[in-house]
């Protein structure tokens, strides 16, 4: 029997380009639907969101400013990374069981998001429930379907062409929900 994929849209807010020296400050995920190799079935999204305590003192001010998050506040009120990643692993496992499917992360800036999620799961969660190859990049998929060079594709363009609106990035959970809708439109 061929396993079914459960597509889960993801968005990360970080205060720098790489995990370790920099921190993942927020994580948003939304289930998008299942794919059996032939048919994509869209589902009402189930979501996961958390804001995390920073793990280092290093950050890039411009990158932090783009997140709209307050590091000092997150140091006091954010979820400890160990707790956040265990909660996320439990949520991913629950969603996979609920849909009798294997999770596949989907994102518009997936390389960045995947790097942080994979590193955080390995460092703080005891390993990732996602494996190493369970991901799909929306920008690449869109570029191929639209016949556009990858470097010519922007998130706002994708949203306008596929969803009929142009929205700037915002809260990580809102971004994940939009990416779930982008995937449904592409498939």
Q: What is the CA angle 139-143-149, rounded to 5?
A: 115
Report the alpha-carbon distance of residue 96 to residue 103 in Å, rounded: 6
Mean pLDDT of 3-24: 95
Q: Which of 3-17, 77-91, 131-145 has the lowest mean pLDDT?
A: 131-145
Residue 154 scores a pLDDT above 90: no
CB 88 within 8 A of CB 51: no
- pLDDT at position 165 is 74
Report the alpha-carbon distance of residue 153 to residue 28 in Å, rounded: 23
CB 19 within 8 A of CB 115: yes
Q: Where are the domains of the chain?
A: 5-186
CB 53 within 8 A of CB 94: no
Report the alpha-carbon distance of residue 40 to residue 43 in Å, rounded: 10
Q: Could you tell me which CATH number the domain at 5-186 has?
A: 3.30.420.10
């Amino acid at each position: 029997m061929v396993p079914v994929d459960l597509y889960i849209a993801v968005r990360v807010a970080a205060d720098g380009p790489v995990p370790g020296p920099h921190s993942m400050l927020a994580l948003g995920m939304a289930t998008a639907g299942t794919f059996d190799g032939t048919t994509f079935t869209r589902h009402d999204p189930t979501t996961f969101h958390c804001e995390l305590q920073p793990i280092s003192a290093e950050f890039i001010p411009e990158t932090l400013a783009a997140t709209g998050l307050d590091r000092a506040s997150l140091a006091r009120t954010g979820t400890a990374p160990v707790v956040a990643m265990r909660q996320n692993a439990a949520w991913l496992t629950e969603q996979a069981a609920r849909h009798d499917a294997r999770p596949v992360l989907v994102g518009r800036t997936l390389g960045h998001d995947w790097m942080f999620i994979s590193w955080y799961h390995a460092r703080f969660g005891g390993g990732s429930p996602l494996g190493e190859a369970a991901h799909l990049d929306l920008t690449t998929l869109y570029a191929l379907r639209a016949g556009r060079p990858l470097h010519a594709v922007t998130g706002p363009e994708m949203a306008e062409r596929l969803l009929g609106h142009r929205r700037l990035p915002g809260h990580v959970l809102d971004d994940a929900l939009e990416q779930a809708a982008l995937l449904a439109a592409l498939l």
